[in-house]
Structure formats: C-alpha cells, structure tokens
A and B are shown apart, each in its own frame.
Chain A
Amino acid sequence: MIEPTVALYGDAFNRAAAVLEELIEQAQVRYVLLVDRKGFVLAHREALWAPRPPALDSIATLVAGNAAATQALANLLGEPNFNELVKQGEKQGLYVEEVNDLTLLVMIFDTDTPIGRVKLFGKKAADELDEITRGAVVMPRELGIDKDFHESADAMLDDLFGN
C-alpha cells in the first residue's frame, strides 16, 4: 500500500452505513455497496425483502474493473470521463455512481423500480459519501501497522499457506 486509502471504520463507518441504510429505503433497491477503486467492499446494505446477495467481493471487483475500463475508454476518446453507468437486465439492473476518485457507489435494483428514482437518491447519497470517504482517507503509514502486527501476520501466513 503506497497510495492513500480509505480506512472506513468506527464513526466514519457508522455514518456511511447510515447513508446506505437510508438509500435502500428511499430508492427501494435490493443491495447497495460502497466499494473502493481497487475493488474492495467498504460497506454494504441489503433490503430485508431481498434474497441473499451474490458474492460481494466479486461484484466489487468487477464493478471497479469495469469503471477503470470505462475511464480508459473515455480517455482514448479524449473525454475526461464517462460518468454514470447503468446495466439493465430483464429482472434486475445495476447502477454505479462515482462518489469520487477513490470510491464508487453500486446499487442493484429490480427493474420495476423506476431508474429515475435510483439515480436521484443514488446521486444524493454519493454526495454524502463523498464527504465521509474523503474524511477517512489515510496514508498507509498512518494505519497503525507495526512490528507486532507484522509478526502475528507472519504466523498466520504460515498457518494459511503452509510452512
């Protein structure tokens, strides 16, 4: 980790989770995820009525990869960016809102939910998440990783990957 990263926990995490909670209610979507551009899930919420979501790590990685590819395409065409990304299937759709240059907001909705509603509340939530995630940016050296951490991680690596 050389680049600054979003360390979302404690108070910042609770605030982000509250935004997602409200978003689920207002937009009436199935699942919402806040993911970073590297493809890690930072926070997520699901509607009580929704079935168990598919693998969140996979969603996050594919959305981040897709966003990176879209950005590269925009650059090829001389555009600074293509914002907004909607994928609509027969029963479900997926909407991605760029929160900022570090994070993305992913919403998965039923196609009988109006897309206008999804976008409206998505953009509103993204504004709030922008502020929260910016406040949670740390440099890797500020994460509090020390020799102690390193030693226990070493032991766990041995456990997992063999000696």
Chain B
Amino acid sequence: MSTINFANREINFKIVYYGPGLSGKTTNLRWVYQTVPEERKGEMVSLATEDERTLFFDFLPIDLGEVKGFKTRFHLYTVPGQVFYNASRKLILRGVDGIVFVADSASNRLRANAESMRNLRENLAEYGLSLEDIPMVLQVNKRDLPDALPVDMIQAVIDPEGKFPIFEAVATEGKGVFEPLKDVSRRVLSKLAEHT
C-alpha cells in the first residue's frame, strides 16, 4: 500500500464497526489486519488507553485493487464502545458508507447491545441520516461463551423487524469475521451501482 497512484480515478469507502464496549470490534480489525496480505493493507492505528480500551478509534486501510479503472480502497474504523465516549463516536460516523454492528452474546450485555443500537440511530440522525440510508450488517459475536444468549433473543432487541443480515462470530478465532465485512462491502457497492 505504500505507493499510491493518484493519477487514476479512485473510490474510497469508510466502514465503521459499531457496538457496545468490549463486544469485540477491535478484535475484528486485528484479525483482518493479521490475515490480509501485506501488499493489500496499511498500518493499523489504534488510539487506545493503557488498558487497551479504544479511546478514539482503531483504523485499518485495505486496498481492494483496481476495479474497472478505479483504484478501490476501504478504510475500516472501530468506535469506542463505552457510553461516555459518545462525542468521539459521533465524529467517527462522519462520512460513513457502511456499518458492521458487533453485538455481544454475553447474557449480561443484552441491554448494552440495545442501547448501542439506539445510540447509533441517534448519532446518525445528527448527520441527517437513518439506518435506511446506510448499508448495515449485524455480527453476533462471542458465540463461544458458555452463557451465550440465543441469536434470536439478541436480534429481537437490536433488529426486531429482522431487516439486517445477521452473522454469528467468534472474532478471537477469526470465525465470522470476513463474512460480514464482505457482505457490507457488497452492499455499499451495490448501493452505488443502483444509482447509475
């Protein structure tokens, strides 16, 4: 990714991993970083506190390559999940093209999942956007937990109408990490294509 040829046309996408604190957003990005070949990724930047909690964002640039004469790049971001970091969370949503909502399967995080989704709606509304405007997929993470709640119970609080694609994941093992990323990327692209 070190050489960038700007003389060509480019298309850049911003994909944001959203969700409650500790649901596994940073873990998703780390897995992508570890797995994508060297020449397709840039450096991962993490603005975190001493105890590894995301303070402002994590950032990972991914290079899809040249598609029909367009150099195509994805910027992946995570937001800080803790409630009191809302000011930074809102900033990261600026210019968002697609969202992966990472929910936590732990039984004591059901409410946190619901609150984070509500917070997402509110923050988008401040940019004059709604969830209908932006492609979003859901990732229900930590399926390996012994006390993992059933998926439909989690879905019932974050997406009661079942409008969004849903993926189960164990991000620490890389399970279900690429599927939602690929799916949301596709949706972002097809949203663009449908306008032409």
Q: Please name all residues of chain B whose beta carbon is closer than 8 Å to the beta carbon of A56 when the two chains form the complex.
A: 4
Q: Does B8 contact A (CB under 8 A)?
A: yes
CB distance from A161 to the nearest CB of B (A): 4
Interface size class of B (residues with CB under 8 A): 35 or more
A72 touches B11 (CB 8 A): no
Q: Please name all residues of chain B whose beta carbon is closer than 8 Å to the beta carbon of A84 when the two chains form the complex.
A: none
B91 touches A68 (CB 8 A): yes
Q: Does B57 contact A (CB under 8 A)?
A: yes
A123 to B160, CA, bound (A): 52
Interface residues in A35-59 (C-beta closer than 8 Å to B): 37-44, 55-58
Q: Mostly helix, strand, loop or mixed at chain A's interface?
A: helix
Interface size class of A (residues with CB under 8 A): 35 or more
B57 touches A157 (CB 8 A): no
The one of B1, B65, B134, B193 in contact with A149, judged by C-beta atoms closer than 8 angstroms, is: B193
The one of A41, A61, A143 in contact with B4, judged by C-beta atoms closer than 8 angstroms, is: A41
Interface residues in A1-34 (C-beta closer than 8 Å to B): 1-3, 5, 7-10, 13-14, 17
B189 touches A150 (CB 8 A): yes
Q: Does A86 contact B (CB under 8 A)?
A: no
- Chain B interface residues (CB < 8 Å from chain A): 1-2, 4, 6-14, 36, 40, 42-43, 45, 47, 56-57, 59, 61-62, 64-65, 67-68, 70, 72-73, 75, 87-88, 90-92, 94-95, 97, 129, 133-134, 178, 181-182, 185-186, 188-190, 192-193, 195-196
